[in-house]
């Protein structure tokens, strides 16, 4: 009997089913659980109150990233509530025996940068974290999704989660990305196409020649943003690029186990003829650099575009939403994006804080100067990214150009630490969310890729990075 | 976990699309170590002015909506960050039920863990509910919302329904499957020794 063709998602799902319950839900086994300081205190407290322990500490890895300072952390955390939260995490990992990367450890960084770096994230695994951008790890062909604190507690206690199957969606990116563009542009273009709810209830598998051509860093950027399309998770089937990245990582298999693992990982592609509930194909060969104009990641445009007129919105709800977004962003309908003066540039986050992103930004920044009107921050995604960048001299390029070179963490992606926008400041940011108040109360965020962010820093306004390539 | 059977209460309309969890509860309140007390910070950025005073035009600052236990919301409610602080803040304010055309996945899940019933109904239905003066009644067992003599039926997954009706302890329920989990782990060790 031949088995019906299955998608990559189906394969990972099927392998992790512990039990099918009478109500149709599935008890799914969780291989890897990443824990950070903001969404875990109440989960550990719940365990304590119920007298439970952490069922599988070796499948768990904790790190503080969301509210840590990105300068002078050796002196401790000055914001009291942040300090207390990191201290609570440290006390919890000690009490429950959970592996932890301390704040001053070189391996510390944003949880979604650290997991892959350590080889904690592996193909074919299930990965969860109390953080929506857990979708990042799908770049390895892992089923990775964000969960709430109650579910964090559930996984800590049982290493399992009751789940319902998602729908399969496939997005193929074909063609060759033009110079100066990157996976962030692909992601923003997709979200523009399907909207922030376009992937709701789905796991998106990314494929096509443009995805195959991406590095692991690029695939992580793409999968990272799949949550902004509303998807439960993003996935890329593992291939030689994946194996080359994973091999030799501290927690990756070695020797005979490596060979065995590779044999399994090679089977992790959607079968020919596997059915997808939704399919979409985008050609990237004539893609323009993308930037957002409003307060939702779906409000994207080519950099050559202009803000829309709410009067032209297709529905009354959208008309209101566009008007509200324009007002919040301090923009009139029909305003060209190119030329919008920028106050702050933020290069970092789990979307674009990896070594390739810093290289891409440095290529634009090299030999140029940050505009005197702009404050520009570069925040590496992890201590290892920072060290690697320093070995390559990228820190010098940024510092010479007038960028700030900081310590790793989430930083101005969400402004829980002191890295925040002031009211009404306009920011070109490589992060993933432009929601009202996300980077600071009344702050105005334009999402862009690292090349575009560096170009904006130099120009002092949003500009088309392709001009910098010609020069 | 808290049970949910039925509820009669004031329904506050907040029909804008894509209300994200940053808007429901912004970052400055995420450093808390407990689940309680977030209700006064709910919708902080649009509920208070820069001096911390209530904005009179915001729906939850108006009568009778200050005592709302039902929220009527727009499409894709609860998108963005996975923070469970969002349902904690809603619950702490007194919201037990949210009716919207669609919800973001993680937020939807988080509601059930906190005794909040999220009900998907079409936008025209939600708009019709928003027109009703006086309280609405939500009956989970019958899967009905009613008000002003009209009724609306809603879909609900039987597993989730049972969880809320019985106030099940989800972790305790999974723990009853411990033998199956252990057997699964043992089988796995042989097959995928690198994990
Ligand atoms: S960098 Fe931003 S999006 Fe990523 S985990 Fe940190 S706060 Fe979340």
pLDDT at position A471, please?
54
Exposed e or buried b for every residue in B100-120, given b needs 16+ CB within 10 A?
A: bbbbbbbbbbbbbbbbbbbbb
Q: Out of B34, B75, B180, whose CB is closest to A18?
A: B180
Pairing type for strands A278-283 and A167-174 reads: parallel
Chain centroid to Cα A333, Å, comes to 30
**Which residue's CA is minimally distant from atom 6 of ligand 1?**
A410
Residues A190-199 have pLDDT tens digits of 999 999 999 9
Q: Ligand 1 center to residue A351 CA distance, Å?
A: 8
Helix, strand or coil, per DSSP, at residue B97: strand
The pLDDT value given to residue A460: 98
> What letter does residue B110 receive in the DSSP assignment?
H
Residue ranges for chain A with pLDDT beneath 70: 1, 470-471
pLDDT of residue A363: 97
Nearest CA in chain A to B173: A162
Token pair for A248 = 């030799």
> Among all chains, which residue has been given the structure tokens 């079968």?
A271
For residues A104 and B68, give the distance between their C-alpha atoms in angstroms, rounded to a whole number. 47
Task: Determine contact: B122 vs chain A, CB below 8 A.
Answer: no
Q: How far is the CA of A285 from the centre of ligand 1 (A)?
A: 30
Q: What pLDDT, on the 0 to 100 scale, is given for residue A1?
A: 54
Cα–Cα distance, A151 to A147 (Å, whole number): 6
CA distance A287 to A186: 8
CA of A297 to the centre of ligand 1 (A): 15
Question: pLDDT of B37-81, one tens digit each?
Answer: 999 999 999 999 999 999 999 999 999 999 999 999 999 999 999
User: Searching chain B, which residue's CA lies closest to the CA of residue A202?
Assistant: B105
> Which domains does chain B carry?
6-191 (3.20.19.10)
Contact call for A257 and B170, based on CB within 8 A: no
Nearest atom of ligand 1 to the alpha carbon of A351? 4
Determine the length of chain B: 195
Give B42 Cα–ligand 1 centroid separation in angstroms: 22
Taking the CA of residue A224 and the nearest CA in chain B, the distance in Å comes to 12
Write out chain B's pLDDT in tens, 195 residues: 789 999 999 999 999 999 999 999 999 999 999 999 999 999 999 999 999 999 999 999 999 999 999 999 999 999 999 999 999 999 999 999 999 999 999 999 999 999 999 999 999 999 999 999 999 999 999 999 999 999 999 999 998 999 899 988 899 999 999 999 999 999 999 999 999
Q: In angstroms, what is the span from residue B36 Cα to ligand 1's centroid?
A: 24
Q: Cα dihedral sign for A22, A25, A31, A36?
A: negative
> Can you give the pLDDT at residue A3?
81
Query: Which residues are CB-contacts of B138 (< 8 A; sequence separation ≥ 6)?
Result: B6, B7, B8, B70, B97, B117, B119, B144, B145
Predicted confidence at residue A470, as pLDDT, reads 67
Encode pLDDT of A322-365 as tens digits: 999 999 999 999 999 999 999 999 999 999 999 999 999 999 99
Nearest CB to A416 within list B27, B82, B194: B27
Q: Best interface-test mutation with A: which of B14, B19, B23, B26 has the largest number of A CBs within 10 A?
A: B26
CB contact under 8 A, B171 and A148: no
Please report the residues numbered 56 through 75 in chain B whose beta carbons come closer than 8 angstroms to any beta carbon of chain A.
74-75
Query: Does B194 contact A258 at a Cβ distance shorter than 8 Å?
Result: yes
Residues with CB under 6 A from ligand 1: A 66, 110, 112, 131, 133, 349-350, 410, 413-414, 431-432
CB A451 within 8 A of CB A289: yes
The secondary structure of A312-347 as a DSSP string is G-SSHHHHHHHHHHHHHHT--TT-BSTT-B-SEEEE
Give the number of A-B residue pairs with CB atoms closer than 8 Å.
Answer: 183
Full-model pTM: 0.96
At residue A154, the pLDDT reads 98
């Amino acid at each position: 009997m031949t088995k019906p063709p299955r998608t990559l998602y189906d394969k990972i799902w099927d392998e992790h089913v512990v039990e099918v319950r009478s109500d149709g839900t599935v008890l799914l086994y969780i291989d890897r659980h990443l824990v950070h300081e903001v969404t875990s205190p109440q989960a550990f407290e719940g365990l304590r109150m119920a007298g439970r322990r952490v069922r599988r500490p070796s499948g768990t890895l904790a790190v503080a990233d969301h509210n840590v300072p990105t300068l002078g952390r050796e002196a401790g955390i000055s914001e009291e509530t942040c300090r207390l939260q990191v201290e609570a995490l440290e006390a919890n990992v000690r009490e429950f025996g959970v592996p932890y990367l301390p704040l001053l450890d070189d391996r510390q960084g944003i949880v979604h940068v650290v997991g892959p770096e350590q080889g904690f994230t592996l193909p074919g695994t299930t990965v969860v974290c109390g953080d929506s951008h857990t979708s990042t790890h799908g770049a390895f062909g892992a089923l990775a999704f964000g969960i709430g604190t109650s579910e964090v507690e559930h996984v800590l206690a049982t290493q399992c989660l009751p789940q319902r199957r998602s729908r399969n969606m496939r997005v193929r990116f074909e063609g060759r990305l033009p110079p100066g563009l990157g996976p962030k542009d692909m992601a923003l273009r997709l979200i523009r196409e399907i909207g922030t709810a376009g992937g709701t209830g789905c796991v998106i598998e990314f494929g096509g020649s443009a995805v195959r051509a991406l590095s692991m860093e690029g695939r992580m950027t793409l999968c990272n943003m799949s949550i902004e399309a509303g998807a439960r998770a993003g996935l890329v089937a593992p291939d030689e690029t994946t194996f080359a990245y994973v091999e030799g990582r501290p927690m990756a298999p070695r020797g005979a186990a490596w060979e065995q693992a590779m044999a399994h990982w090679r089977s992790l592609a959607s079968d020919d003829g596997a059915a997808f509930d939704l399919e979409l194909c985008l050609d990237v060969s004539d893609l323009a650099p993308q930037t957002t104009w409003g307060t939702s990641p779906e409000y994207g445009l080519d950099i050559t575009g202009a803000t829309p007129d709410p009067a032209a919105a297709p529905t009354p709800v959208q008309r209101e939403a566009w008007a509200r977004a324009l007002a919040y962003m301090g923009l009139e309908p029909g305003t060209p994006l190119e030329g919008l003066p920028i106050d702050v540039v933020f290069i970092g986050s789990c979307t674009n804080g990896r070594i390739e992103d810093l290289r891409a930004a440095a290529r634009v920044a090299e030999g140029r100067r940050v505009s005197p009107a702009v404050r520009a921050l570069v925040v590496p995604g992890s201590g290892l990214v920072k060290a690697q960048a320093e070995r390559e001299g990228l820190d010098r390029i940024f510092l010479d150009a007038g960028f700030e070179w900081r310590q790793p963490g989430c930083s101005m992606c969400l402004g829980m630490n002191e890295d925040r926008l002031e009211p009404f400041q306009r920011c070109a940011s490589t992060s993933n969310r432009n929601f009202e108040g996300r980077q600071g109360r009344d702050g105005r965020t334009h999402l862009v890729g690292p090349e575009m962010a560096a170009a904006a820093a130099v120009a002092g306004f949003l500009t088309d990075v392709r001009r910098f390539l010609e020069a | 976990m808290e049970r949910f059977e039925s509820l009669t209460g004031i329904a506050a309309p907040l029909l804008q699309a894509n209300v994200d969890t940053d808007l429901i509860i912004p970052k400055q309140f995420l450093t808390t170590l407990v689940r309680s007390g977030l209700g006064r910070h709910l919708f902080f950025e649009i509920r208070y002015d820069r001096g911390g005073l209530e904005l009179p035009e915001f729906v939850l600052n108006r009568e009778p909506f200050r005592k709302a236990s039902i929220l009527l919301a727009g499409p894709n409610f609860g998108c963005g960050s996975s923070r469970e602080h969002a349902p904690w803040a809603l619950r702490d304010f007194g919201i037990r039920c949210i009716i919207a055309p669609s919800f973001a996945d993680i937020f939807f899940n988080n509601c059930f863990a906190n005794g909040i019933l999220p009900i998907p109904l079409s936008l025209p239905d939600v708009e019709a509910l928003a027109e009703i003066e006086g309280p609405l009644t939500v009956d989970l067992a019958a899967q009905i919302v009613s008000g002003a003599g009209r009724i609306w039926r809603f879909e609900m997954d039987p597993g989730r329904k049972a969880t809320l009706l019985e106030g099940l302890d989800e972790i305790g329920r999974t723990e009853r499957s411990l033998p199956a989990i252990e057997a699964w782990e043992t089988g796995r060790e042989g097959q995928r020794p690198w994990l």
